[in-house]
């Protein structure tokens, strides 16, 4: 005789929930999604933000191409389909971190509004703080910190965002940082102030 299942996901009712983790960490988790061209300064700002948040007692996790595409997404390329799957997996991983009460800082080109909306819909709009790290293609090509622009110009990288693949700027981001007009330190300070203000405003647990 087969017993009919009464709950498809019974474990969800038994494990500790997000509020339990947030109370334990004395913080509310948010997803800070940094979008912009390669070389615009996303990871530099994220590292600075993480250090400043840690000084104030916040637990964070940075996700970027280095720790995602060398691990969970190492089997994906840069076709439209693979870019979408890349962002979908990242958003699902981010949701798990949010459920652990961890402030997650993501640094991904994520070039289209549609693909960022996919991530936003997975984690929830109320937790999704979009930061547009704004630097022109010309400025990023001058920096070319990873040598990607040179490879793209030489045809070694196909579907390179800004060259032969589009980048759609956010229409209404939580914050915009123009890194060609600011020093890295000024950029980090602006993001830190905005994020701290948001965290304190939305806090349901004891403030840091």
Catalytic residues: 110
Could you tell me which residues come within 8 angstroms of residue 190 by beta carbon, excluding any fewer than 6 positions away? 175, 177, 182
The CB density around residue 50, as the number of other CB atoms within 10 Å, is 20
**Would you state the structure tokens that stand for residue 18, as one six-digit string?**
């997000």
Among 130, 126, 169, 113, CA closest to 32: 130
Among 107, 100, 101, CA closest to 86: 107
Report the C-alpha gap between 179 and 205 in whole angstroms: 33
């Amino acid at each position: 005789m087969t017993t009919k299942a009464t709950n498809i996901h019974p474990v969800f009712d038994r494990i500790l929930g997000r509020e339990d983790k947030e109370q334990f960490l004395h913080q509310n988790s948010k997803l800070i999604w940094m979008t912009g061209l390669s070389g615009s300064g996303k990871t530099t700002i994220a590292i600075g933000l993480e250090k400043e948040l840690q000084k104030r007692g916040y637990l964070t996790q940075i996700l970027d191409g280095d720790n995602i595409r060398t691990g969970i997404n190492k089997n994906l390329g840069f076709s439209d389909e693979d870019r979408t799957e890349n962002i979908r997996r990242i958003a699902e991983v981010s949701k798990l971190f949010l459920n652990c009460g961890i402030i997650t800082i993501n640094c991904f080109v994520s070039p289209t509004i549609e693909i960022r909306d996919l991530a936003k819909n997975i984690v929830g709009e109320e937790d999704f703080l979009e930061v547009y790290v704004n630097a022109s293609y010309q400025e990023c090509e001058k920096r070319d910190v990873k040598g990607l622009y040179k490879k793209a110009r030489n045809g070694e990288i196909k579907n390179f965002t800004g060259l032969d693949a589009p980048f759609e700027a956010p229409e209404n981001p939580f914050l915009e940082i123009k890194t060609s007009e600011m020093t890295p330190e000024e950029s980090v300070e602006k993001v830190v102030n905005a994020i701290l203000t948001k965290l304190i405003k939305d806090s349901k647990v004891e403030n840091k």
